[in-house]
Amino acid sequence: MKRILVAVIFLAIIASLFLLSLQTGIINLDSSLLNLIGKRTGIDAITVWEVRAPRALGAIVIGSALGIAGVIAQSIFRNPLAEPTLIGLTSGASLGSVVAISTGAAVYGSTLNALFAILFSALAGLSIYLLAPANGLGFLITGIAGSAVFISIAGLLITISPNPGIQNLSFWNFGSLAMLNNSTLKVISPLIAIGIGGAYFVTRKLDIYSLGENSAHYLGVNSGRVRLIAIGVLALLVGPAVSSVGAIAFLGLLVPHVVRLLIGPSHKNLFFFSALLGAALLLGADLLARAAFAPHEIPLGLLTSIIGAPVLIILLKIRVEQWVSND
Amino acid sequence: MGRLQHISAYRRQVWCDNGQVRQRDISATALLTIGLIFSTQPSAYALEIPLNKTKLAIVNSAEKPVFTRVVALAGGSAEIIVALGYKSILVGRDIASTMPRLSDIPIDTDAHQMAVERILSQKPDLIFIDKNSGPRTAIDTLKKAGIAFASVPDAYNLKNIVRKERLIARKLGVPEAGKMLAKKLSNFKHSESKIKVVFLYLRGNSAIYLIGGKGSGADSIISAIGFKDVGSANLKQPFAALSSEALIAMAPDVILTMTKGLESVGGISGLVKLPGVAQTPAGENRRVVTVDDSLLLSFGPRTGELLPVLRKSILKVAAR
């Protein structure tokens, strides 16, 4: 009952934020949203359907993806601080995108660009997973170090690339939904949908998996294979997002923790509610990014980092004390 | 590596003929320019040509432009439209157009990306872009709104400035204004001089000291005013690291730098401590001319105004 109530509240928040997104901006709409339905010409219709709608829909798609990615990352690595940004997947995706654009292999917003991001994200996740020491803190530190390497290589490529189409470096560090339009949204949505499908499959194994590797083994779950699949799924969730809007840090860290507080730890519920909360948070953050310093807009990734980093510090403090006392 | 990066970033920003301009680099120029506007300290001994030394002369052809609401995002295009006499049709500009006269025109970029909704709100009928304008997705969206686009090539020498001015004028439907403006640059007459000038690119804070060679941008300006650019005569590449032997062999009579650049090495007294400088006729006699950084690099309508002023300044210090 409580879950249904929470779900309804989330859906209502998402719907209102979505409508608010369509109406918020520099241009004051002369006609109401209802009148604009079906219209394709005129400044109001172009503004709503070509600028604001893809942004708001993108926030929902990408927010859900990042929320789910947070759940998967935390569960699969049995580490409550694991998050795509902290374990190198985000910066791997950034690097993939930068490689594609700087070499001229792909342009921003293309399917190939998203595929590069997915591939590099998966390779990054895999290499950090294989290189990291077994304990939780070691894994995170390896991830952060790996991220620094990926971002540096991306920065180097941007600096020496003769391709003027390469985007501003800050975009890959602090993402923004400003560049999202309908064609880009059409490219990333199916890829993210595959990722969400894969994530649903993985979460069904995760409840068993979180009992511990030995128990999982006896219940017929191959932990090594689940981890590999999970890294692929994470790359499908993170790669298209990063290739189109840049890095949005900490959303995946924040969301599962808040959801656990609200509805408890079962992964199937976590999956669904993390998607909802991720969508709501990203929609809200995007509105704030557009409104806070209007008519200028700040990169959304700045906001998520400003809010997310202190949360990480608090969580880390609790967790490290546990890790240290366990040793 | 840091040094190389800096050089390449700088070259992309302003000088390089192959035009690898990176928008984020332009922000450095913008900051520099803002800094310059507020800094009034002249460099000791060097003859300085500040930003306000040249006035933008505006032509008047009394033609009626075919576009009435224009956003100028291509580098230098806003300045050209003002010089053509049509500031009144300008509704938006890029952040790199720093001319004080443009300060009341809204900037249509955020973090160097086109701000789609802000541009839409200005209801433009034409947008000037260059190959650094983007993202492509923003251009696609604005095209859907029925806005016309015109692509403008980069200009890093005098010939290209003229071409760029006339192209923008033609696109606006004011070709006569374009011809009038272009004449100002091509009409500049001078006699050839034997005075040898070298352009030094200095960034003391980053320990970057370079000699300008062929394609540095300064080469086209120095030769346009009738002096001998010993840098480009000896260097095939746009820039080379300052080496004492190379500089002494060039034996420049006058050193040309940018005002901020000279300041960054501590003025003339710092400049003559750089390897080889004191052993050149220019260094020995403290013959240095500095030009406001953004003015020297503007490669637009102000360049035509700069040429006679710069020629006079170089002749003046050469007589020291």
Domain boundary residue, one of B186, B209, B233: B186
pLDDT at B21 over 80: no
Residue B23 lies in a domain: no
What letter would DSSP give residue A4? H
DSSP E strands: which ranges in chain B?
A: 47-49, 70-72, 90-93, 109-110, 113-114, 126-129, 148-151, 196-203, 208-212, 228-229, 239-241, 254-258, 288-291
pTM: 0.75
Residue B34 lies in a domain: no
Distance between A84 CA and the closest CA of chain B, angstroms:
25
The helix/strand count (H/E) of chain A reads as: 14, 0
Mean pLDDT within A1-16? 91
Which two tokens mark A230?
A: 């999970």
Statement to judge: residues B197 and B314 lie in one domain: yes
Statement to judge: residues B204 and B235 lie in one domain: yes
φ, ψ for residue B66, nearest 5 deg = -85, -15
Q: What is the pLDDT of residue A212?
A: 64
Statement to judge: residues B166 and B218 lie in one domain: no
Cβ(A109)–Cβ(A244) under 8 Å?
yes
DSSP result, A287-307: HHHHHTTTTS---HHHHHHHH
Statement to judge: residues B205 and B271 lie in one domain: yes
pLDDT > 70: what percent of chain A?
Answer: 88
Ranges A283-297, B4-18, B97-111: which has the least confidence: B4-18
Residue B61 lies in a domain: no
- Cis peptide preceding A295, ω within 30 of 0: yes
Q: What is the pLDDT of residue A109?
A: 84
Residues of B whose CB is below 8 A from A159: 5, 8-9
Distance between B42 CA and the closest CA of chain A, angstroms:
34
Statement to judge: residues B201 and B175 lie in one domain: no
Statement to judge: residues B224 and B268 lie in one domain: yes
> What are the structural domains, with CATH classification, of chain A?
73-322 (1.10.3470.10)
Inform me whether the C-beta atom of residue B2 falls under 8 Å from chain A C-beta atoms.
no
Which H/E stretch holds residue B219? helix B218-224
What is the number of CB-based contacts under 8 A between chain A and chain B?
Answer: 85
Q: Quote the mean pLDDT of chain B.
A: 84
Q: What is the pLDDT of residue B315?
A: 93
Distance between A162 CA and the closest CA of chain B, angstroms:
6
Q: What is the pLDDT of residue A299?
A: 84
Domain boundary residue, one of B139, B159, B186: B186
Gyration radius of chain A's alpha carbons:
20
pLDDT at B7 over 50: no
Statement to judge: residues B211 and B310 lie in one domain: yes
Residues of A whose CB is below 8 A from B117: 25-27, 47, 51-52
Which two tokens mark A307?
A: 């809010």
What letter would DSSP give residue B16? -
The A-side interface with B (CB below 8 A) comprises 25-27, 41, 43, 46-47, 50-52, 107-109, 159-160, 162, 164-165, 167-171, 176, 178-181, 183-184, 295-297, 299
Helix (H, G, I), strand (E, B), or coil: what is residue A247?
coil
- CATH of residue B273: 3.40.50.1980
Structural domain boundaries, residue B120 = 70-186
Residue B4 lies in a domain: no
Inform me whether the C-beta atom of residue B131 falls under 8 Å from chain A C-beta atoms.
yes
Statement to judge: residues B99 and B153 lie in one domain: yes
Statement to judge: residues B168 and B282 lie in one domain: no
Nearest CA in chain A to B12: A162
Distance, in Å, from the CA atom of A36 to the CA atom of A45, rounded to the nearest integer, reads 6
Nearest CA in chain A to B112: A168
Distance between B186 CA and the closest CA of chain A, angstroms:
31
Q: What is the pLDDT of residue A25?
A: 85
Q: Quick: pLDDT tens for A107-154.
A: 888 899 999 999 999 999 999 999 988 777 888 899 999 999 999 999
Intra-chain end-to-end CA distance of chain A, in Å: 41
Domain boundary residue, one of B152, B168, B186: B186
Test A46 with B120 for CB contact under 8 angstroms: yes
Residue B2 lies in a domain: no
b/e string for A149-178 if b means 16 or more Cβ within 10 A?
A: bbbeebbebbbebeebbbbbbbbbbbbbbb
Cβ(B196)–Cβ(B250) under 8 Å?
yes
Cβ(B92)–Cβ(B72) under 8 Å?
yes
Residues of B whose CB is below 8 A from A168: 23-24, 111-113
Statement to judge: residues B171 and B230 lie in one domain: no
Statement to judge: residues B172 and B284 lie in one domain: no
Test B111 with A176 for CB contact under 8 angstroms: yes
Which two tokens mark A232?
A: 């692929």
Residue B108 lies in a domain: yes
Statement to judge: residues B106 and B173 lie in one domain: yes
pLDDT at B262 over 90: yes
β-pair partners for B47: B289
DSSP result, A134-174: SSHHHHHHHHHHHHHHHHHHHHHHHHH---TTSPPHHHHHS
Residue B31 lies in a domain: no
Residue B15 lies in a domain: no
Residues of A whose CB is below 8 A from B18: 162
Angle between helices B175-186 and B158-172 (to 10 degrees): 170
Q: Tell me the pLDDT band of A168, cut-offs 50, 70 and 90.
A: low
Residue A37 or B68, more confident: B68
How far apart, in Å, are the Cα atoms of A290 and each of A16, A193, A272?
A: 17, 27, 28
Distance, in Å, from the CA atom of B101 to the CA atom of B96, rounded to the nearest integer, reads 13
Residue A27 or B41, more confident: A27
Cβ(B49)–Cβ(B295) under 8 Å?
yes
Q: Quick: pLDDT tens for A40-91.
A: 888 888 889 999 999 999 999 999 999 999 999 988 888 888 889 989 999 9
Q: Quick: pLDDT tens for B85-109.
A: 999 999 999 887 777 888 899 999 8
Residues of B whose CB is below 8 A from A51: 116-117, 120, 141
Mean pLDDT within B14-32? 44
Residue B217 or A224, more confident: B217
Inform me whether the C-beta atom of residue B22 falls under 8 Å from chain A C-beta atoms.
yes
Looking at the 3D structure of chain B, how many domains does it have? 2
Q: Quote the mean pLDDT of chain A.
A: 86
Q: Which of B111, B120, B141 sits opposite A181 (nearest CB)?
A: B141
pLDDT at B123 over 80: yes
Mean pLDDT within B54-75? 91
This model of the complex carries an ipTM of 0.73
